[in-house]
Amino acid sequence: MTLKDLTKDLHQQAESTQFMRALFDGKLNPEVWIDFTFQKTLFYNTIEGAAGSCRLLHDLPGILRGFKIYQDYCVMTSNSSTRYHYRPSVTDYHNYILSINKEPDLIMAHLYVWHMGDLYGGQMIKRLVQGSHIALDFENKELLIQNIRAKLNVETMGQEARRAFEWSIKILKEYDNTAEPEHQ
């Protein structure tokens, strides 16, 4: 069994959230996408910082997305005065990652869930969501996928990969009732 098989039910649950349904239907409120992009700046940088300190990044050239996500956020808000704040689930997730930041297998499970999502589903998101997508452009996609897969171990990462999906669902559910544009 692979991590993909082990997390399939939670992956489907994440895809069935109101946020993701609105995204797939092309009805995601652009402000919600900007807010979500802002949220990702925190936990991606936390995951990537922990992965770096655990020496997990040496054979993953170009994997770092945190700053690129911030660049997307800046492009999308360049003409806006709206201020965004980290949502409770995101600060809780950030704190959780900090609590496991010395555990390479646990950190790798979170990197796997989010970054493989970008490497695969992110390519579809670029077509469905208006906005900047610097963070979804990869120069060496196939090498990254191959090298991430080489680091995976179902026995030591399985439960934590499921936990990463549970966090993603919790974050996405904070957008319930805000994901679709207001009807005029």
Domain of 49: which CATH number? 1.20.910.10
Tell me, what's the pLDDT at 123?
84
pTM exceeds 0.85, yes or no: yes
Residue 39: which of 138, 131, 168 has the closest Cα? 168
Q: Is 165 part of any domain?
A: yes
* 183 inside domain: no
Count of the separate structural domains present in the chain: 1
Nearest of 8, 137, 163, 154 to residue 68 by alpha carbon: 137
Percent of the chain at pLDDT above 90?
Answer: 89
Residue 81 domain flag? yes
What's the number of CA atoms in the CB half-sphere (13 Å) around residue 54? Answer: 21
Residue 162 has pLDDT above 90, yes or no: yes
The pLDDT value recorded for residue 5 is 96
**Would 180 be classed as within a structural domain?**
no
Long-range contacts of 123-129 (CB under 8 A, 24+ apart): 125/23, 128/23, 128/24, 128/26, 128/28, 129/23, 129/28, 129/30, 129/33
**Dist CA 142 CA 139 (whole Å):** 9
Contacts of 137 (CB under 8 A, 6+ apart): 68
Residue 104 counted as domain residue: yes
Q: What number is the average pLDDT over the span 166-175?
A: 97
Domain membership of residue 118 (yes or no) is yes
pLDDT above 50 for 31: yes
pLDDT tens column, 127-149: 999 889 999 999 999 999 999 99
- Has residue 130 been placed in a domain? yes
CA distances from 117 to 83, 102, 182 (A): 27, 23, 28
Residues listed for the chain? 184
**H helices present in 1-153, as ranges:** 3-6, 8-15, 18-24, 30-53, 66-76, 88-99, 104-119, 121-128, 141-150
Per-residue confidence (pLDDT) for residue 106, from 0 to 100 = 98
Rounded CA-CA distance 52/73 in Å is: 23
Within-domain flag for 182? no
Q: For residue 22, give the nearest of 183, 181, 184, 182 by alpha carbon.
A: 181
Q: Is the pLDDT of residue 184 over 50?
A: no
User: Which residues form the domain of 114?
Assistant: 3-173
